[in-house]
Amino acid sequence: MSSVVVPVIAIDGPSASGKGTVAALVARELGFHYLDSGAIYRVTAYAAQRAALALDDEPALVVLARQIELRFDGVEVFLNGVAVGDVVRTEEAGRAASQIAALPELRAALLQRQRDFRQAPGLVTDGRDMGSVVFPDATVKIFLTASAEERAQRRYKQLIEKGFDASLAALLQDLRERDARDAARSSAPLRQTADAELLDTTSLTIAQAVEQVLQWFRVAKATL
């Protein structure tokens, strides 16, 4: 008897492209589990800072990553049983996450933890290497992007609505630097795989982007 393969929709893309919002809504529509892989790195970086660890101390970060308890409840993230929510959604947290995500041994330590989220009836996940490394056999792979200017505008709006101070020019520069760092890292660089669908959301609404992902999944599911 062949084992049932749990379907995975893997959505990769650069920072502030909207992949997290789209992925969470697709998961809700399908009744699937949701994994925000970026939050894993954000929480790990946050835990490291609380423990006064240097973000380039790879051996210590690997030990920490194996010890902390992570849990998701929808889009809320819990570290050792405590909701960390907006604390790990700041620009500072994003920069720290991008820094430690370049460490190959740390990525390896977190690999199985991410794969463990693959549970019935299915998983929708977003990140930088979900389709290329973590779930290379994903049912659907999508590379979701938008122009740097549009992404900076979206991030600026999000931060202002949450009551944070923000500079549009600084956000744009930070996004470009993060894009370059994510694409140039030696371990699991950000890239569109040959078998991934390209979804440019620059001129799309969230609803349109979600529907496109659902359409691709329906087509892929029909061929299984």
pTM of the model: 0.86
Q: What pLDDT was estimated at residue 143?
A: 96
User: pLDDT at position 165, please?
Assistant: 87
Q: Would you identify the CATH topology of the domain 8-222?
A: Rossmann fold (3.40.50)
Give the C-alpha separation, 135 to 78, whole Å: 23
What is the domain partition of the chain in residue ranges? 8-222
What are the residue ranges in the chain where pLDDT is below 50?
1-2
Q: Where are the beta strands (DSSP E) in the chain?
A: 8-12, 33-36, 70-73, 76-79, 82-83, 123-127, 140-145, 197-200
For residue 162, what pLDDT is reported? 83
For the stretch 48-91, pLDDT in tens is 999 999 999 999 999 999 999 988 776 788 999 999 977 888 87
Q: What is the DSSP letter of 147?
A: -
Alpha-carbon gap, residue 21 to 23, rounded angstroms: 6
| Residue 212: predicted pLDDT | 98
The alpha carbon torsion through 211, 8, 148, 167 (nearest 10 deg) reads 100
Q: Residue 195 and residue 218: Cα distance in Å, rounded?
A: 16
Structure tokens at 129: 């290497």
> What pLDDT is attached to residue 223?
82
pLDDT of 2: 43
Q: Determine the Cα–Cα distance for residues 6 and 8; give it in Å rounded to an integer.
A: 7
pLDDT, position 184: 83
pLDDT reported for residue 3: 57
